[in-house]
Amino acid sequence: MGLIVTILAVLAYAGYITKQFSGLRKLQGEMVDRNRKDSLQLLRIQNDLNLLGLAMRDMLDDGGPYSLYAWSAQFDRIRNDLSVALQQEETLAEAARTNDQRRYLSQSLSQFWDASDRMFALAKEGHEDAAREHIRDTLQPRQAALSSAVSRLLVQNNEGEEQAAARISEIYDRVQRQLYFFLAGILLAIVVTSLYMIRANRRIFGHVAELSSQRSELAQKLISTQESTLRHISRELHDEFGQVLTAIGSTLRRADKHLSENSPLRADLQEVQEIAQTTLNGIRSLSQALHPVLLEEAGLESTLDWYVPTVERQTGLALHYQKSGEPFAVETGAGVQIYRVLQEALNNVSRHSGAKEAWVRLRFLAAALELEVEDHGKGFAPPEGHTGIGLVAMRERAEILGGNLNVSRIAENGTLVQLKIPRERVEAHGV
């Protein structure tokens, strides 16, 4: 809503500014520019009237070598120029002049030319004195009146330009003032929207953190339940089925002793005894795979010493096992999680990498315990949007121990799994 309000405010203000500047452009174009062009035409008219005034002053000079009628050509030229200038001025001043003003200027010029025609008629007939008298009594006063009228129009144009400039300045000031108000309003809207978004994001992030905590807690409970179930099944296999198969083997050995060496049942008993022993070995291997009792009895280091060669025999992988650092006792619960991470990593190498060998490194550091599994197979590239449950379980186990798990591609086009756990989270105290 804040974003929508801000956008609408920007659009509304943009429309307002466009309208203001459109009016300003119209004011400048239709009034100021037009007024200036009209002033130029008025100056042209005034210049022509001044030329008429100078010509009439010369005509009144009796010492001139020419008759008054000789000035008619110059008057005609000025008359034509005045006619053109007056037409253009009327077009430009159509909106600024009243009908009386336009009619007065046109009629005054028409009367002046009528009087001029009568003056030249008298001069043509040889009445020079009467013609000069007509110039002094009629033409010069009319020319002075016309010049005064044009001067008033020029003053009026100047006043109009000043008024237009004041209106333009007023528009600029108003737009500038409203721009400040608009910017303040937009800034306020942005601040309010940002504060709301911060509050909403905090609420969302808090909810996400709560969900993440619940998910992590649920995952830990599932892992704990899984380990408890596997431990129970492992013990049942080891204790119940293992003891039963051990008892069967002992019974078969005793029965074998009571048979003669040539008895046909002796070979059958030995075959059954081998089957029982093979089944017992399989049960023990399965029990160790489900939950290595060796972890509780000998610790993580010894369990891995046993487990890595076992995987090598079962999978055919060439495993290079390296240990470094000063070993320290690892708490059994933490050892189970580390063992499961190694188990899942080696399963991925065996099933998915296509590699024939891998490197397992266990490092006992001063402040941490590190486990690495490296292969040079196809590399780790799960489909987009999909994450294997095994990788999720590995990360959850790392979080249970307060550590972090990193799975990355390496330069040799393989995969490197790195597990790093703080020492205080895994070390068994009092051992």
Q: Could you tell me if residue 280 is inside a domain? A: no
Q: Is residue 226 part of a domain?
A: no
* pLDDT given for residue 118 in this prediction: 92
Higher pLDDT: 84 or 269? It is 84
Give the 3-state DSSP-derived string for the chain, with helices as H, strands as E and coil as C: CHHHHHHHHHHHHHHHHHHHHHHHHHHHHHHHHHHHHHHHHHHHHHHHHHHHHHHHHHHCCCCCCCCHHHHHHHHHHHHHHHHHHHHHHHHHCCCCCCHHHHHHHHHHHHHHHHHHHHHHHHHHCCCHHHHHHHHHHHHHHHHHHHHHHHHHHHHHHHHHHHHHHHHHHHHHHHHHHHHHHHHHHHHHHHHHHHHHHHHHHHHHHHHHHHHHHHHHHHHHHHHHHHHHHHHHHHHHHHHHHHHHHHHHHHHHHHHHHCCCCCCCHHHHHHHHHHHHHHHHHHHHHHHHHHCCHHHHHHCHHHHHHHHHHHHHHHHCCEEEEEEEECCCCECHHHHHHHHHHHHHHHHHHHHHHCCCEEEEEEEECCCEEEEEEEECCCCCCCCCCCCCHHHHHHHHHHHHCCCEEEEEEECCCEEEEEEEEEHHHHECCCC
Is residue 77 in some structural domain?
yes
Residue 113 is part of a domain; what is its CATH number?
A: 1.20.1330
Query: The domain containing residue 84 runs over which residues?
Result: 2-193
Residue 156 has pLDDT above 90, yes or no: no
Q: What is the pLDDT of residues 94-134, one digit of tens each?
A: 555 667 777 788 888 889 899 999 998 998 888 888 988 99
Note the pLDDT tens digit of each residue in 202-228: 999 988 888 877 776 776 677 677 767
Q: Is the pLDDT reported for residue 288 higher than 70?
A: no
User: What pLDDT shows up at residue 96?
Assistant: 59
Domain match, 30 and 169 both: yes
In the listed set 174, 193, 212, which residue is the last one of a domain according to the structure?
193
Q: What is the pLDDT of residues 289-328, one digit of tens each?
A: 676 777 778 888 888 898 899 888 888 899 999 999 999 9
384 falls within a domain: yes
If pLDDT is split at 50, 70 and 90, which confidence band does 411 have?
low
When the pLDDT of each residue in the chain is averaged and rounded to a whole number, the result is 81
Q: Are residues 47 and 189 in the same domain?
A: yes
Residue 202 vs residue 12, higher pLDDT: 202
Q: What is the average pLDDT across 408-418?
A: 83
Q: What is the per-residue pLDDT for 431?
A: 44
Q: Which of 161, 193, 225 is the last residue of a domain?
A: 193
Of 149, 170, 193, which one is at a domain's C-terminal end? 193
What's the domain count of the chain?
2
Tens of pLDDT, residues 337-396: 898 899 889 988 888 888 889 999 999 999 999 999 999 888 665 555 555 677 888 888
Residue 262 lies in a domain: no
